[in-house]
């Protein structure tokens, strides 16, 4: 389903680019946030995105996954500044995860939206340790 959204966005951008550069076309910050969100979701070591409280309720009620959750985009003069709020998996090397996010987001946004990305700021909001605690619980249960 995410791939379909990506393809739809790509098609819209290609249509807009063929119209010419001086047509006054603006790609919304929400579209850029979705592109960045898909890129972040593909990085190993990312357990999830940290968004606003209200966004989580909207996801539950609509049943849709918000791909822009935890991403803030500012575009000024054809340049994008992107802030990404993530939760990392326990055991992942945070600098490597952050570097990979920066590279993937920059490549995806510049490639699909044609904007220059001036900054990709990665904010680590927490560490997910749930999977390890489940394994420890299972190991305790089998040891007894």
Task: Name which of 80, 97, 89 is nearest 39 in CA terms.
Answer: 97
In the chain, which ranges are E strands? 46-49, 71-76, 79-89, 116-128
Reading the block at residue 79, the tokens are 């340049």
Q: How confident is the model at residue 137 (pLDDT cuts 50, 70, 90)?
A: very low
Using one digit for the tens of pLDDT, what is the confidence trace for 57-112? 444 444 556 788 899 999 988 899 999 999 999 999 999 999 999 999 999 999 99
Is this prediction's pTM over 0.75?
Answer: no
CATH topology (fold) of 2-143: Alpha-Beta Plaits (3.30.70)
């Amino acid at each position: 389903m995410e791939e379909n959204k990506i393809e739809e966005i790509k098609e819209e951008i290609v249509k807009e680019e063929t119209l010419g550069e001086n047509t006054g076309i603006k790609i919304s910050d929400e579209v850029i946030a979705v592109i960045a969100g898909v890129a972040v979701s593909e990085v190993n070591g990312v357990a999830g995105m940290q968004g606003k409280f209200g966004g989580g309720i909207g996801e539950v009620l609509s049943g849709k996954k918000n791909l822009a959750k935890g991403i803030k985009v500012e575009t000024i003069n054809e340049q994008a500044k992107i802030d990404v709020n993530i939760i990392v998996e326990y055991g992942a090397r945070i600098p490597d995860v952050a570097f990979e996010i920066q590279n993937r987001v920059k490549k995806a946004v510049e490639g699909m939206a044609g904007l220059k990305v001036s900054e990709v700021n990665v904010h680590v909001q927490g560490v997910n340790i749930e999977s390890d605690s489940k394994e420890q619980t299972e190991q305790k249960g089998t040891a007894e």
